[in-house]
Structure 1
Amino acid sequence: MNLKKAMLAAALALGLAAPAAAAEKFSVGYDIYFGGNSWSVQLYKEFEAEAARQADTVDVTYTESELKVDKQIANIEDLLTKGVKAIIVTPISPTALIPTLKKARAKGVKVVLLASKIRSQDYDALVTVNDEDFGKAGAEWLVKALNGKGKIIALNGISGISASDDRWAGAKEVFAANPDIKVVSAVDASWDYAQAKVAVSNLLAANPEIDGIWSQGGAMTLGAIDAFDAARRALVPMTGEDNNGYLKRWVALKDKGFTSVAPSKPTWLGSESLLVAIKLLKGESVEKNTIFPPPMITDANVASIVRTDLSDSFWSNTRLSDEQVRAAFKD
């Protein structure tokens, strides 16, 4: 008899309980929907950091979809084949994933949507902010900054992704209620600096009067600022986001009269999505829709939020440590 069996036999002879087996970990699949901008990278890093904190509870299998719908569907199918018990996904399309998510739930797999919605109820939990309120907040601020009158440019993300569509829907509602605000053009710039700079440069060349910029992304607002500088046009009120590079520029321009506001979609949603998934897997009660209000950065508090010691790529609403941020963004 080996030592382990001997110890077990002795324990049973003494009427003692056998040692408890180690608790089985939950198998979770996480799809990195995009790695092409710093917000999506930090969203993933927030999840990864939470997974490390929950290492005794979960085993995570990662996939990456590169903003391709067909690849995201294939990734979810692959996760199902591997037998995961929960899938956390940021839907690239509001409709294309629905049949696959239905299949997952039919197998008993918990589905958590992170930061983006689908046009059905085929999920167990949604973790996001109210993107319509995000859009409204920036639009209301811009209307007030322009005293209710002026010509503006709107910079959207990517049509078809719920975050972009919902933000623009919220903003349009505000602008429709203020008919003296004229939207000269609403363009998709993919939350990208270079695309926004080109779009705004072209619109400035065609429009001698632009009074404001409604932007749903910090990098896009930086592109707009640089387009105004290149065209030698005076800066106008612009909305932004909580990207550290944008916050640094905002603070640097305040003495020149630049004014802004930054609704935020915290990257810590990535961390929160795993905590919600664990509750579901434990059979605990979870709200189907966990929708947070967008935190706001204003002229009054931006100086206390900007981090001049951290990368321009950093996003201010985080659960990451400074060390984790520096490891993720080395610029």
Structure 2
Amino acid sequence: MRTRSLLLPRSSSAHPLDSRSRRGVGAVAAAGLALSLAACSGGGGEASAGGGDDPMTVEVNVYSRSLPYFQDFVAGAQERAEAEGVTLNVTYGETDPQLQYDQVQNALTKSPDGVIVVPVDPAALVPVFQQASDGGLPVLTAVNDIEEDGWPYVVGHVGKEYFEVGREKAQYIVDALGGQGTVAMIHGIRGLLFSELQGQGAMEVFAENPGITVIDGPYTGEFSSDAGLAAAENVLTANPDVDALYFDNDDIALGGVLAAQQRGIAMEDIVIIGTDGGEPARQAVANGELDMTITLCGVATGKLAMDTLVAFVRDGQKPDERFVDVPSQLITTESYEDVEALIAAGDC
């Protein structure tokens, strides 16, 4: 099974809904949602076959509007929606679990044909997903997974194994340093699967290499270059001789590049890596500023999520496995042009 035990630290600022309040909100909403979902076709999560030309309306709720990766995801979903005759309504959770809960709950009351959600919090949406399932409205999660108790209520999950992404990033650093050196890890948002699972995977690889010393650094609390700059400045002040900077995400990694440059550190003297593969990060790789990033192929992921949901709604076709793996590409100066060609073709 494609799962791992998630031992995630929690933060009140990142996760304002505790388990009891999440379940409580779901219970209060149940009556209203049941009335709204009664208009949806099917029951118990089963799809109704309608044919490829049937018009559809799909509600999409995405983790954030500002991050380049999610802009790519929405672009891919919209491209496939237009090709399939699907009307797409997009809202943004803006990294706020309560806001996203309210938005998804509101989306269900519109009785769409299906819903795609990129969860902010792995547990907060489980009650509303259960209500959707009970009313026969199919929900697909994408990019960020949910907790296991919510799996029975969704069609499936389209995403990437973040644990393996973290391992791949750490192995790149180990190889770049020849197995010897000090690595500082700067994280994004505490408790977010994207951050935590990458970190767990990376630490597993670092633990396998005794010549690597790890400074497990701060959580920035957000994904922005300003937050990355501030965190990297603090880490470099306390540890001026680090050999590599590991970042969860490209936005904070670009802040780390600036912090190193402002200290007069030559880019060839430090390894800096991120994740996401948005255009600014790819350009930084091409310029020799960012050593490596992994693109999670936002456009291709958006397309695959839309195709997966449409196949279920129109043809009753459920994914063979709950976890539908998406493509990814490691971007370095050597692979830059090849990956750019894939992105230009819409294949990443």
2:317 corresponds to 1:284: yes
Structural mapping, 1:1-331, within 5 Å? 24-55=54-85, 58-120=86-148, 121=151, 122-189=153-220, 190-235=222-267, 236-241=270-275, 242-253=277-288, 260-268=291-299, 269-282=301-314, 283-287=316-320, 288-306=322-340, 317=343
More divergent stretch after superposition (118-127 vs 86-95): 118-127
Q: SS in structure 2 opposite 1:45? A: helix
What is the rounded CA distance, in whole Å, between the counterparts of 1:68 and 1:199 in structure 2?
Answer: 22
Return the TM-score normalized by structure 2: 0.76
Identity rate, percent: 21
Q: Does structure 2 conserve the Cα–Cα contact (< 8 Å) formed by 1:126 and 1:290?
A: yes
Amino acid across the alignment from 2:317 = E
Matched pairs, number = 286
Cα distance between partner residues in 1 of 2:176 and 2:188:
23
Question: Which amino acid in the other structure matches residue 245 of structure 1?
Answer: P
Distance 1:318 1:273 in 2: 19
Q: Supply the AA of the counterpart residue of 2:323.
A: N
Shift of 1:294: 2.7
User: Are residues 87 and 292 of structure 1, via their aligned partners in 2, closer, same or farther at CA, if it must alter by over 3 Å?
Assistant: same
In the TM superposition, what whole-angstrom CA distance separates every residue of 1:32-69 from its partner, at most 9, and x where no partner exists?
Answer: 331122222222222122222222xx233333322221
The alpha-carbon distance between structure 1 residues 292 and 32, as it changes in their structure 2 partners (threshold 3 A), is closer
Three-state SS of the structure 2 residue aligned to 1:240 is strand
Unaligned runs of 5+ in 2: 1-51
Aligned to 1:14: none
Conservation of the 8 A alpha-carbon contact between 2:297 and 2:327: no
Tell me: CA distance 1:114–1:319, structure 2 relative to 1, closer, same or farther (3 Å): farther
Displacement of 1:218 in angstroms is 2.1
2-structure distance, mates of 1:281, 1:36? 30
Contact 2:144 2:193 in 1 (8 A): yes
Q: CA deviation at 1:304?
A: 4.3
Q: CA deviation at 1:303?
A: 4.2
Amino acid of the structure 1 residue aligned with 2:319: V
> What is the alpha-carbon distance in structure 2 between the residues aligned to residue 200 and residue 163 of structure 1?
20
Q: Is the 8 A contact 2:155 2:318 kept in 1?
A: no
The structure with the larger Rg is 1
Shift of 1:274: 0.8
Closer/same/farther in 2, CA of residues 134 and 76 from structure 1, 3 Å limit: same
Secondary structure in 1 matching 2:287: helix
Q: Is the 8 A contact 1:156 1:191 kept in 2?
A: no
CA contact (8 A) 1:46 1:319 kept: no
Residue identity matched to 2:156: A
Separation in structure 2 between the aligned mates of residue 42 and residue 169 of structure 1, nearest angstrom = 26
Structure 1: any 5+ residue segments left out of the alignment?
1-21, 308-315, 322-331
The structure-2 alpha-carbon separation of the partners of 1:293 and 1:181, relative to structure 1 and needing over 3 Å to count, comes to farther
